Amino acid sequence: MVEMAKMIVALAIISALAGLAIGAAYDKTAEKISEQEKSAKASALKAVFPQGAAIDTIIPVIPVKSGGGLLPEKYWTAMAKDALVGYAFEMSGRGYASDDIKFIVGVDREGKILGMTVLSHNETPGLGSRVNEVASTRYVWYPVGESGQAKPWFTEQFEGLSSLKPIGINKVAGEWHGLDEPKRAELRGKNEVTAITGSTISTRAFTNSISRDIAGYVKELSK
Amino acid sequence: MASIQIVKELKRGIITENPILILALGLCPSLAVSTSVKNGLGMGLAATFVLALSNVIISIIKGWIPDKVRIPCFIVVIATFVSILQLLIKAYVPLLDEQLGIFIPLIVVNCIILGRAEAFASKNNPVRSLVDGLVMGLGFTVSLLILSCIREFLGSNKLWDLLVVPGFKPMTAMILAPGGFFAIAFVMGVVNWIRGWEKKEARKA
């Protein structure tokens, strides 16, 4: 009996101290973390639109995703020279991890994808995590010179594709960063992207949620 | 005297009691993150940090934890450190969070940390436990680096994200799970072969 009480007390004390420590750490960092997330989102938004466009946040009057209305709770518009360039939507798709992949897609008024940026993901390191990989063209023994593309290749290959038609996944062509221009044009013609090797499920998270949601959004907005 | 001690401890962590290659602990995180050198180093350093700190705390509180509930207590301590580490990195070094963020939750289930808590920190004083945490973490990091060099080169023809041999067509299987098993088995085999050979030499002498 005494032994049992001792165990309970010890576990209770340790859990309480641990809870206090995590609570204090959370308290100290929460504000800073949300600031970081906000600035990450702001730069992600800039990246999906052409340079210099003025971005506005729009909260639809009827923010319903059910029934007749198909708009998300929040989206963004970009204006350049007083003309509407396009819209951006925050999307999420189920990849391989239990947390959804969150990303922002910018489309023009005809539903053509202008740009795409991954906000957060929890995919397998070395496989699905390559959604953010910047392809390298430099060699180990000569790591200077051309620094490769600045954009991650996986999201770059979506640019110019139509979000109104389903986007196909090509698993035989190899990864996009290794293809030459004619091959890339051929994929674009078929409205296809290349899969990340070993991570088709992560790839599918993007194509699925784009074809599930964006066509509806664009149709609703062009009314 | 002290420097001899340090060399001895380092040798213990990296060679004679190497956590992955000799003790065969922490194999699952090793399989998952040894796909590239960058990932391997990141995971190694993050785990070392948690290992050293949790070893110290566990060594301090070992006296008043009832024996029967020691494992849950250790896990609470480890998980607390991991959570705090994650919050701090997210708040103050977002760049590091992008690189390491996905590994940090994996550290909780890294059995090297629980293994060292149980085998070492719960029986030794805080200073020795800190040293044990550091050298074991270093051993983990070194083994991850060896494995990830092999896998990143064979699997994607790269080292530290830079290309290696022009025109070499990499074997994708090496960066997938089977390649991880091959690489670990191969390195373990080499290590055991060297150890067997050393023993034979010692017997001859």
How many CB atoms are closer than 10 A to CB A46?
18
> Chain-wide mean pLDDT for chain B?
86
The more confident residue out of A83 and B100 is: A83
Has residue B133 been placed in a domain? Answer: yes
Q: How many domains does chain B have?
A: 1
Task: From chain B, pick out residues whose CB is under 8 angstroms from the CB of A123.
Answer: 102
Most confident segment among A3-17, A55-69, B151-165: A3-17
> Given pLDDT bands bounded at 50, 70 and 90, which one contains residue A146?
low
Has residue B21 been placed in a domain? Answer: yes
Task: From chain A, pick out residues whose CB is under 8 angstroms from the CB of B91.
Answer: 28-29, 32-33, 36
Mean pLDDT over A165-172 rounds to: 90
Mean pLDDT over A11-29 rounds to: 93
The more confident residue out of B87 and B2 is: B87
Amino acid A68: pLDDT? 46
User: What pLDDT digit, counting tens, does each position of A52-78 carry?
Assistant: 778 888 777 655 555 445 777 788 888
Amino acid A67: pLDDT? 47
Measured CA to CA, the distance from residue A153 to residue A149 in angstroms comes to: 8
Task: Find the helix packing angle between B70-92 and A2-48, rounded to 10°.
Answer: 20
Task: From chain B, pick out residues whose CB is under 8 angstroms from the CB of A32.
Answer: 91-92
- Domain spans of chain A, in order of start: 1-36, 49-221
Predicted ipTM of the assembly: 0.74
B24 backbone φψ class: left, alpha, beta (φ>0; ψ -120 to 50)? left
Amino acid B52: pLDDT? 93
How many CB atoms are closer than 10 A to CB A200?
14
Q: Which residues lie across from A84 on neighbouring strands?
A: A79
- Any idea which of A153-162, A203-212, B78-87, B167-176 has the lowest mean pLDDT? B167-176
Domain with B33, as residue range(s), is: 9-149
Instruction: Report how many Cβ contacts below 8 Å link chain A to chain B.
Output: 92
Q: How far is B88 from chain A (nearest CA, A)?
A: 7
> Chain-wide mean pLDDT for chain A?
85
- Chain B positions contacting chain A at CB under 8 Å are 32-33, 35-36, 39, 43, 61, 64-66, 68-69, 72-73, 76-77, 79-80, 83-84, 87-88, 90-92, 94, 98, 102-103, 158-164, 166, 172, 175-176
Measured CA to CA, the distance from residue A213 to residue A91 in angstroms comes to: 8
Has residue B113 been placed in a domain? Answer: yes
Amino acid A27: pLDDT? 93
Amino acid A145: pLDDT? 59
The more confident residue out of B29 and A107 is: A107
Q: Do B66 and A10 touch (CB under 8 A)?
A: yes
Q: Is the pLDDT of residue A147 over 60?
A: no
